């Protein structure tokens, strides 16, 4: 999974029949520091995300799995909306990540 910010919607007058009811979003991939990384891309929305929200997305074969048993021709898919996230660099130096036990 990768992180991205939704920066727009795609309006298409014609779509593949598998995408007929699907929303297409423009995503800007993000680094852990919330900086843009790489070029924007179009993804199928499976969770109802909106513009400016930060989301998780997947690429490749996994992009069609949220729509099973329908066959959706997708190479990228939004799979979750981020309510809150932080990276190790955001934590104070005296705070230990939850999955790492303290050494005393």
pLDDT score at 103: 54
Q: Give the residue numbers spanning the domain of 36.
A: 2-13+20-83
CATH number at residue 29: 2.40.50.220
Q: What is the pLDDT of residue 39?
A: 97
Sequence-ordered alpha helix ranges (H) in 8-73:
none
DSSP secondary structure code for residue 96 in this structure: P
Q: Report the candidate in 52, 45, 46 with the shortest Cα–Cα distance to residue 8.
A: 52
- Asked if residue 97 belongs to a domain, the reply is no
- Residue 90 inside a domain? The answer is no
User: What pLDDT shows up at residue 69?
Assistant: 87
pLDDT in tens, 5-43: 999 999 988 988 888 888 999 999 999 889 999 999 999
In a domain, 43, yes or no: yes
The pLDDT tens digits of the residues spanning 62-93 come to 898 888 888 888 999 999 999 988 876 655 65
Is residue 72 within 8 Å of residue 44, measured between CB atoms? yes
Check pLDDT > 90 for residue 102: no
Contact 22, 72 (CB under 8 A): yes
pTM, two decimals, is 0.78
């Amino acid at each position: 999974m990768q992180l991205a910010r939704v920066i727009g919607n795609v309006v298409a007058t014609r779509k593949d029949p598998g995408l007929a009811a699907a929303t297409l979003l423009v995503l800007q991939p993000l680094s852990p520091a919330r900086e843009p990384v790489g070029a924007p891309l179009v993804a199928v929305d499976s969770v109802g995300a909106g513009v400016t929200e930060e989301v998780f997305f997947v690429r490749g074969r996994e992009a069609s799995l949220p729509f099973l048993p329908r066959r959706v021709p997708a190479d990228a898919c939004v799979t979750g909306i981020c309510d809150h996230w932080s990276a190790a660099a955001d934590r104070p130096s005296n705070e230990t990540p939850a999955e790492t036990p303290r050494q005393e």
